[in-house]
A and B are shown apart, each in its own frame.
Chain A
Amino acid sequence: MPPEPIPQTLETTYREAVREAIRDAMRRDPSVFLMGEDVGRYGGCYAVSKGLIAEFGPERIRDAPLSESGFTGAGIGAAMAGMRPIVELMTVNFSLLALDQILNTAATVRHMSGNQFGAPLVIRMATGAGRQLAAQHSHSLEGWYAHIPGIRVLAPATLEDARGMLWTALQEPDPVLIFENVMLYNMAGQLAAGAGAVDIERAAVRRQGRDLTLITYGGSLWKALDAAQALAADGIEADVIDLRTLRPLDDATIMASVRRTRRAVIVDEGWRSGSISAEIGMRIVEQAFWELDAPVGRVCSAEAPIPYARHLEMAALPQVPAIVRAAKATLGPT
């Protein structure tokens, strides 16, 4: 009998893809371990690490007390001593309790020590709104983190990136922060059976178009793609760029697209003022001003804490109709 054909793709979810990435890294490198609140016996607050403690044990799937600064700093110290920790913070809001360690130690130690020490760890956390978790669990502060020299900031939006970015991040000699949008964990789809490490340098063009460029990342990628589809129905073809990495930004991919389409709209779940969208907009102005045919547009979250009530939460976030409106605004009155 001929052997059964090996399936080319597997049905999976974003959550399972992240879990598989952790499992793969743990198997390949004994210095990798996962540490965070409820990552072990509970299985992870978003169930990402469910089942891993049975395979790897409590030393390497290490439940930590509610001490974000303490265990994040411990991850940094362990990395400086040669381990490769994956620190999980439940949400970006809680990461602020560890900001001292992330900024004052992890991001500075290589430069400040004259390249004698580095902190090669990965810090993963959930970000974003949409689950009615209100103003202390729903913010999108990855743009803040992208302000900090010395760290890398990743925002996987696809199954391939959820599966593939972690290993590449663990090979980096410097700290890498990975932001997983909470609305993506349940996203299901097909992933290549042999999916593995991916680059973390380049933005990706997820849809090709000639009329304008939509620039986004993370959970907003899917809204931007929906908006592009709606625009196509009106004969407007959008390039959709998935930034993938917020620091360092891939200016080359952004500018190549904007120079071709001559119009840009940035979609960012962070607040508008002082946001990563502001940074990208300014870079476009600095590098491609003379090629623009319209002011750069932005769709961001409302300048308010994210509220609990469903209709208010939805109104606070970038949504497809607002992206379509902003896109059409760059095309002028019709």
Chain B
Amino acid sequence: MLRTDKPHLTRDHLLWLLRQMVRIRRFEDKCAELYTQEKIRGFLHLYDGEEAIAVGVIPVLEERDRVVATYREHGHALVRGVPMNAVMAEMYGKVEGCSRGRGGSMHLFDRTTNFYGGNAIVGGGLPLSVGLALADHMRGEPHVTACFFGEGAVAEGEFHESLNLAALWRLPVLFVCENNLYAMGTALALSESETDIQRKAACYRISSEAVDGMDVVAVEAAARRAVAAIRGGGGPRFLECRTYRLRAHSMFDAQLYRERKEVEEWRSREPIVRFQGWLKENDIVHEADLASIEAEVAAEIAEAVAFAEAGAWERVEELTRFTYAEKPGEGAAHHAA
């Protein structure tokens, strides 16, 4: 029998994990470049340094499980399987984007992969995840809802309300706290009386675990344990992934609140270089593998940029379309100019 609660440390799987992290990193490097060219506008929150969390957790989920993410969710969308073309087109605001260009960077949605957004209200996704899980629970369906949020959300009332509800009703939610130590520019110690975040779950009788969020294998192992427990009917689980945001909060952040030295220290622990080094030391990957991953990813990104560039702007006549569901007989024709 296949044990689902242990990572499969096959070469293929390890290479896959590496490829996903590289994919996210290079995609976002490209986004930052496109931002300076004003191809991408609005807020742009990069996941640089935190990739091991989405890559460690999301592949543990099944196809019909559900994902709720934050405004720093490009990586989650990509690893969940939202096509890079559709994500990049969304960044451009094109109608081919995964949210028709209405959401942008912060509001990636994808029904096909049960990706429930891109929520830009800190803490706002937690009640939603409780409800998604409540629906599955009431129908006796075996799905798990994974809810990602930063440690900043822990100060919100919705965090506490949601943990209580999920535990009270024994709902299948995996709460994943991406603790990157700063809520925008406010350090954890300046926003929380208890900085050991995972201990908060205990108040709600939720089993929790803290893990090195820059170690993709450790994250995956913890996620497998948690998801197996949830699917076994044990109610919610809480996973704190300790990580660091290596770039600014958004493109408008001068980073006055932290020392450059601190960032450099964390950079030396960053998940991709570290994982690559470990794979090489153990003779699992070779330079040729890394080169081929980089080449594949570069090709995928080039195609995504071309797709987004070639995309169309949604017609202004459709501005109010889908504010409400269309009734039969309404539709694009109704809105045609």
Q: Which residues of A contact B (CB under 8 A)?
A: 33, 59-60, 64-65, 67, 69-83, 85, 100-101, 104-105, 109-118, 149-150, 152, 172-174
CA distance A79 to B100 in the complex (A): 22
- B99 and A77: CB pair below 8 A? no
| Interchain CA distance A66-B76 in the complex, whole Å | 32
CB-based contact B325/A174 at 8 Å: yes
Please name all residues of chain A whose beta carbon is closer than 8 Å to the beta carbon of B117 when the two chains form the complex: 109, 112-113, 117
Distance of A101 Cα from B162 Cα, bound (Å): 13
Q: Tell whether, in the assembled complex, residue B131 and residue A79 are in contact, meaning their CB atoms are under 8 Å apart.
A: yes
Cβ contact within 8 Å between A73 and B131:
yes
Instruction: Check A77/B132 contact, CB under 8 A, given A67-B165, A116-B109, A173-B325.
Output: yes
Q: With A70-B161, A70-B165 known to touch, is A78 a contact of B322 (CB < 8 Å)?
A: no
Tell me which of B128, B158, B164, B322 has the highest count of chain A C-beta atoms within 10 A of its own C-beta: B128
Main secondary structure of the interface of B (DSSP, over half): mixed
Residue B134 CB within 8 A of the other chain: yes
- Across the interface, B131 reaches (CB within 8 A) one of A67, A76, A110, A172, namely A76
B142 CB → nearest A CB, Å: 14
Assess A83 versus B100: contact at CB under 8 Å? Given A73-B126, A116-B109: no
> What residues of chain B lie closer than 8 Å to A115, measured between beta carbons?
100, 321-322, 325-326
Closest A residue, CB atoms, query B130: A74
Q: Report if B324 contacts A (CB, 8 A).
A: yes
Report the separation of the CA atoms of residues A65 and B127 in the bound assembly, to the nearest whole angstrom: 13
Shortest beta-carbon distance from A14 to chain B in Å: 28
From A82, A85, A101, A112, B109 is in contact (CB under 8 Å) with A112
Complex Cα distance, B132 from A226, in Å, reads 47
Q: Which B residue's beta carbon lies closest to that of A101?
A: B127
Q: In chain B, residues 127-175, which have Cβ atoms closer than 8 Å to a Cβ of chain A? A: 127-136, 138-139, 157-158, 161-162, 164-165, 168
Shortest Cβ distance from residue B172 to the other chain A in the assembled complex, whole angstroms: 12
- In the complex the two chains form, is B324's CB within 8 Å of A73's CB? no
Q: How far is the CB of B159 from chain A (nearest CB, A)?
A: 9
B124 within 8 A of partner (CB): yes
Chain A residues positioned under 8 Å from B101 (CB to CB): 114
User: Please, which residues of chain A bring their CB within 8 A of the CB of B133?
Assistant: 77
Docked complex Cα distance between A105 and B325 (Å)? 15
Chain B residue with minimal CB distance to A172? B325
Q: 9 more A-B contacts (CB under 8 A) besides A70-B130, A101-B128?
A: A69-B157, A72-B127, A80-B128, A104-B121, A105-B121, A109-B117, A115-B100, A116-B110, A149-B320
Q: What's the Cα separation between A118 and B162 when bound, in Å?
A: 21
B102 at interface, CB cutoff 8 A: yes
Q: How many A-B residue pairs have CB under 8 A?
A: 144
Closest partner residue, chain B, to A107 (CB atom): B323
Nearest neighbor of A175 in chain B, beta-carbon distance: B324
Residues of chain B having any CB pair with chain A under 8 Å: 66, 97-103, 107, 109-111, 116-117, 119, 121, 124, 126-136, 138-139, 157-158, 161-162, 164-165, 168, 320-326
- Contact flag A149-B165 (CB < 8 Å), given A76-B128, A80-B128, A112-B99: no
A69-B161, A105-B128 known; A110+B325 contact, CB < 8 A: yes
CB nearest to B106 among chain A residues: A112
User: A149 to B124, Cβ gap below 8 A?
Assistant: no
21 A-B Cβ contacts within 8 A? A64-B165, A65-B164, A67-B161, A69-B161, A73-B128, A74-B162, A74-B165, A77-B129, A80-B128, A81-B136, A100-B121, A101-B124, A109-B117, A111-B323, A113-B107, A113-B117, A116-B109, A116-B111, A117-B109, A117-B111, A172-B325
The residue in chain B whose Cβ has the minimal distance to the Cβ of A83 is B135
Residues of B within 8 A of A174 (CB): 324-325
Min distance, Cβ B204 to any Cβ of chain A, angstroms: 11
Q: Chain B residues near A78 (CB, 8 Å)?
A: 131-132, 134-135, 138
CB distance from A30 to the nearest CB of B (A): 9
Is B138 a contact partner of A59 (Cβ separation < 8 A)? Answer: yes
- CB B325 to nearest CB in A, in angstroms, measures 4
Q: Report the bound CA distance from A73 to B101 in whole Å.
A: 25
Given contacts A80-B132, A111-B102, contact A105 B165 (CB under 8 A): no
For A118, the chain B residues whose CB sits under 8 A away are 325
Chain A residues in 8 Å Cβ range of B129:
77
Q: How many Å from the CB of B140 to the closest CB on chain A?
A: 11
Complex CA distance for A47 and B168, rounded to whole angstroms:
25
Cα(A83)–Cα(B140), bound, Å: 13
Chain B CB within 10 A, most for which of A75, A83, A115, A150: A115
Contact partner, B135, options A65, A77, A104, A173, Cβ 8 Å: A77
CB distance A77 to B128 under 8 Å? yes
**What are the residues of chain A within 8 A of B99 when measuring CB–CB?**
112-114, 116
Tell me which residues across on chain B come within 8 A of A173, comparing CB atoms.
Answer: 324-325
**Which one of A76, A105, A172 has the highest number of Cβ atoms from chain B below 10 Å of its Cβ?**
A105
Docked pose: A76 CA to B125 CA in angstroms = 11
Question: In the bound complex, do residue B111 and residue A112 qualify as a contact, i.e. CB atoms below 8 Å apart?
Answer: no
Q: Give Cα distance in the complex from A196 to B158, angstroms.
A: 37
A65-B165, A67-B161, A67-B165 known; A80 vs B131 contact (CB < 8 Å) = yes
- Are B135 and A82 in contact, CB atoms less than 8 angstroms apart? yes
